[in-house]
Amino acid sequence: MFKISASSEYALLLVKFLSENPGIHTLEKLSENTGIPLPMLRKVAAKLEKSGILTSKKGRTGGVSSCRENVSVKDVLVAAGENLSIALCSGKGCSSSSNCSIAPVIKNLQRGFESILSITRL
């Protein structure tokens, strides 16, 4: 079931900071400015870069920057590896969803939740 992990919270903080402060930032400075521990920041930045939300530049003048505008909360959470299921039967974990009377309600709530995450921008 959905609960934002520390890693995902850090990913949201990082993307929000970069969207408000354009340009290339070193991981050390980002750690100082956001309060994200440097080892965790490295992991989070790597996931976001792999998903195309961030870009990185190596070398003495290197760092990371945002490469996409209007990134949604859902984009960041998915990139961070979050399971967005709000209940067991909203994912593939429920074997009795075919005869469950609340499965359609849960699926409708899941669609609404994901829609809100998709339209909420950082």
Mean pLDDT of 5-28: 94
Inter-residue contact 67 to 55 (CB < 8 Å)? yes
* Count of structural domains, the chain: 1
Mean pLDDT of 45-62: 90
Residue 88 lies in a domain: yes
Query: Would you state the pLDDT for residue 74?
Result: 97
Inter-residue contact 6 to 77 (CB < 8 Å)? no
DSSP annotation of 25? B
Write out the residue range of the structural domain in which residue 40 sits.
Answer: 6-119
Q: Which residue has the higher pLDDT, 91 or 70?
A: 70
Inter-residue contact 40 to 7 (CB < 8 Å)? yes
Q: With residue 111 as reference, give the H or E element that holds it.
A: helix 103-119
Residue 47 lies in a domain: yes
Band (120; pLDDT cuts 50, 70, 90)? very high
pLDDT tens, position by position, 91-105: 665 666 567 888 888
Residue 1 lies in a domain: no
Supply the CATH number for residue 103's domain.
Answer: 1.10.10.10
